[in-house]
Chains A and B, each alone.
Chain A
Amino acid sequence: MALDRKLAVVDLTTGNIEIKPIPLDVRKKFLGGRGLAAYLLYKYVKPGCDPMGPENAVIFSAGPLGGTLASAGSRTDVMCKNPLTGLLGSGNMGGFFAPELRWAGFDHILVKGKADKPVYIWVHDGEVEIKDGKNVWGKTVTEAQWAVREELGDPDIKSAVCGPAAEKGVKYGNVMTGIKNANGRGGGGSVMGSKNLKMVAARGTMDIKIAHPMEALEFDKKYIEMITGAKVNQTMGTLGTPFIWGAANAWGGVRANNFQLNQLLYSDDIEPESLDEISNQTVGKYHMAACFGCQVHCRAKYRIPDRPLSQKLGMVGKYDEGPEYTSQNAFCGEPGCTKAETLLICNHLVNQYGVDNLEIGSLISWAMELYEKGILTSKDTGGIDLRFGNDEALIEMIHHICNRDTWLGDVLAEGGLAAAEKIGRDSLKYMIHVKGMNHLGSDERATPGLALNAAMASRGSDHLRSRPAIDLYHLPEQVLRRIYGSPVPYDGPLSPDQREYAGKAWMVFWQETCFMGVDCLGTCKYHTTFLGATLPNFEDWSKVLYYNTGLEMTPREMWDVAERCNLIERLFNIREGMKKDDPLKGEMLVDRYFDEPCRLGAPDVVGATLDRVKFEKMRAEFYQHKGCDEDGIPTPQTLSRLGLDTLDAEQPRL
């Protein structure tokens, strides 16, 4: 059955491996994927532990729809205590690893302890082994994956791997799979590196039995038509996710020159249409790829084009995939670079080093502002002229950070807060972060709802935890009411105006619950109410889950699961020191959002700042929706309602 996959707890210190079934009552409470991972993290990680020490755990998770024919059951969640923030570390990637893990008999692999030498974990048809990692350690992301296939003699092995950056202790190392699927933002790769764990390799032939196969086929077809019929997904299937950056840059909604501007002017060369043309020229007409079971095909294939900079750096013709919109943020908008070859080279480098593109791009852009303000000098940069728009400096800094081979590279490898402490002066003032994680590349000064999402995201500044992106579409209020009024009734304010504050707290809360729901199922966020208003959510999930797995849950029960799991993430953060107004670990945006007006963009965006009083009121409303007190702490009534009142006291349920 689709629900008979197991949990393996692997202790790298002792070599002990426990395999445990996942009881049905646990499924009904946490479902799987990110939700169940949050429970496991809370129960298995010792409070206050060193994130780079053996007491931290790294948990690889698939959801119950993984490997089924329901759309895009490809997602792997990786959770840990994040070395960058000291709070929740959580990322999610597509590709083909999660289905393979499920076919090998497992939904969750929890790794704790630390190996005394490099190892990898080999998962195959119900068995788990710890193997010598000498043939894979030190290799790039793709080299390591090809090497393990060769070592084990199976070209169909799929791996979740950390790269050389994580091996060197860079604090924002990704878990990666395939060419470019990245489990970013969570530091899972760094935790793997700290444990001497290079990868989890999986291969399975254990079929997933579909509970109601005929009905599942019929419903999956309809479900897929909902997904492929959405205009947003047709656009994404043509231009990939870079269309998101293009749309946001059009009106002035991206970070540029760190945070000094909100639009990258004359950026035609890195617009999605230009990138698509490069893919056409270097790969051919059919250059859009997909993750397992997905019909959208949002991932472009490309080779680095023959241009002067790529020639000079010996990068012409290197193959990669993407770039995602996050790379346009990190390597174009924020550092002020407008050349496509720079974007494609940087994208390739971070994929091979296995490092978070948003974090490294933001940190370099922050350093560029510090350099232009004289806080960093040429001596600090090792002679690099770290001006905005200096493409070669950007590329050089990626190497120096990932290899930790210069003073500044080593400092930035530790992350922004640690770097600000070492750099000193008023450097922290210029860093755009939440909870110590650098902000993604969007600029929310003109969009309060999106700003609230960034401040409240459980893993630090982020858009994939609760962003009400459809707030930008000016949908009629009656449409918003239909979406945001189900499965939990809501009759408060809802405004189609993205500049308003009223009602946005509910939209963020609803999206937070929706995104947790999709992460529990193990499917893709582009297949739910994120970028499109007509994409499936709770009502549709209830059916797709039942037909494929046999698990009966109403839309409201699925909402409760997601709400519960979000609350566990909040409880984890509170346990690890998160406080509402803490400038380093709190749920607040940096002062620049409130003090510095937008300079560019559409006429109504120019001059926009956030209103601090209204923002704090919106945050208070968000806490109320979540059932928290004014400090963001869940009330006893909320804990009881969601069955979390015994969370601290109870023995782990599995």
Chain B
Amino acid sequence: MIDEKSTAESLGSTRTYGQVRCMNPSCTSRITPQPGQTMAKCPKCGSEWRIFWVKAGLPRVRGPVWETSLKMANAKWDTLTDKKEEK
């Protein structure tokens, strides 16, 4: 009984290392920063993320690159408000 693997335990083998996901919900592409790299751009959607290394092989998104994030958000907002005005 002790040796039997539960669902949660067996899922442990599916973990990935050295990658983060783009945090743009429709994108979620995997990004593989170089070891120690502190900024990464999503190759698919262009979002830029600041990277922190919890330890070797375990990066995480610390936050967005603010200027890029704000620029993209404003562009999206303008598109949405333009559409509203057109209606």
Contact = CB atoms under 8 A, between A and B. Distances in A.
Nearest to B2: A219
A539 interface: yes
A290 B11 CA distance: 26
A562 to B, nearest CB: 16
A234 B54 contact: yes
Closest 6 CB pairs of A and B: A539-B6, A251-B23, A602-B24, A606-B76, A474-B28, A604-B26
Interface in A462-498: 473-474, 479, 482-483, 486, 497-498
A117 B82 CA distance: 66
Interface in A303-332: none
A543 B12 contact: no
A118 B64 CA distance: 51
Given A215-B2, A529-B8, A597-B80, A499 B26 contact: yes
Interface stretch (A238-246, A359-367, A579-587): A238-246
A231 to B, nearest CB: 6
By DSSP majority rule, is chain B's interface helix, strand, loop, or mixed?
Answer: mixed
A235 interface: yes
B14 A479 contact: yes
A235 B25 contact: no
A26 interface: no
B32 interface: no
A535 interface: yes
B36 interface: no
B58 A602 contact: no
A483 B24 contact: no
Interface in A222-241: 222, 226, 229-231, 234-235, 238-239
Q: Select the residue from A215, A268, A601, A602 with max chain B CB neighbours within 10 A.
A: A602
A234 B75 CA distance: 37
B21 interface: yes
A602 B69 contact: yes
Interface of A: 215, 218-219, 222, 226, 229-231, 234-235, 238-239, 243, 246-247, 249-252, 265-268, 271, 273, 446, 473-474, 479, 482-483, 486, 497-499, 529, 533-537, 539-540, 543, 597, 599-607
Interface string B24-67: 11111000000000000000010101001011001011111010
Given A479-B11, A534-B15, 11 more contacts: A226-B12, A231-B17, A235-B58, A251-B25, A479-B14, A533-B8, A534-B11, A539-B6, A540-B8, A606-B76, A606-B80
Contacts, number: 126
A330 to B, nearest CB: 19
B38 to A, nearest CB: 10
Q: Select the residue from A479, A597, A600 with max chain B CB neighbours within 10 A.
A: A600
Contact of B62 (A271, A483, A535): A271
Contacts of A234: 54-55, 58
B33 to A, nearest CB: 15
Contact of B73 (A243, A543, A600): A600
Given A234-B58, A602-B69, A606-B77, A486 B25 contact: no
Interface residues of B, number: 39
A603 B14 contact: no
B9 interface: yes
Interface of B: 1-2, 6-9, 11-12, 14-15, 17, 21, 23-28, 45, 47, 49, 52, 54-55, 58, 60-64, 66, 69-70, 72-73, 75-77, 80
Contact of B12 (A229, A238, A498, A607): A229
Nearest to B3: A222
A482 B7 CA distance: 7
B47 A603 contact: yes
Nearest to B21: A474
Contacts of B60: 235, 243, 247
Contact of A250 (B14, B26, B63, B76): B63
23 contacts: A219-B2, A222-B2, A222-B9, A226-B12, A230-B12, A235-B58, A235-B60, A250-B23, A251-B24, A251-B64, A446-B25, A497-B25, A533-B11, A536-B8, A539-B7, A543-B2, A599-B73, A600-B69, A601-B73, A602-B23, A602-B25, A603-B73, A606-B73
B25 A231 contact: no
A273 B24 contact: no
Q: Select the residue from B2, B17, B55 with max chain A CB neighbours within 10 A.
A: B2
B63 A268 contact: yes
A271 B61 CA distance: 11
Contacts of B61: 247, 250
A539 B66 contact: no
B21 to A, nearest CB: 6
A392 B52 CA distance: 31
A605 B25 contact: yes
A482 B73 contact: no
Nearest to B1: A543
Q: Select the residue from B14, B17, B25, B69 with max chain A CB neighbours within 10 A.
A: B25
Nearest to A499: B25
A265 B1 CA distance: 51
A607 B76 contact: yes
Given A498-B25, A535-B8, A265 B2 contact: no
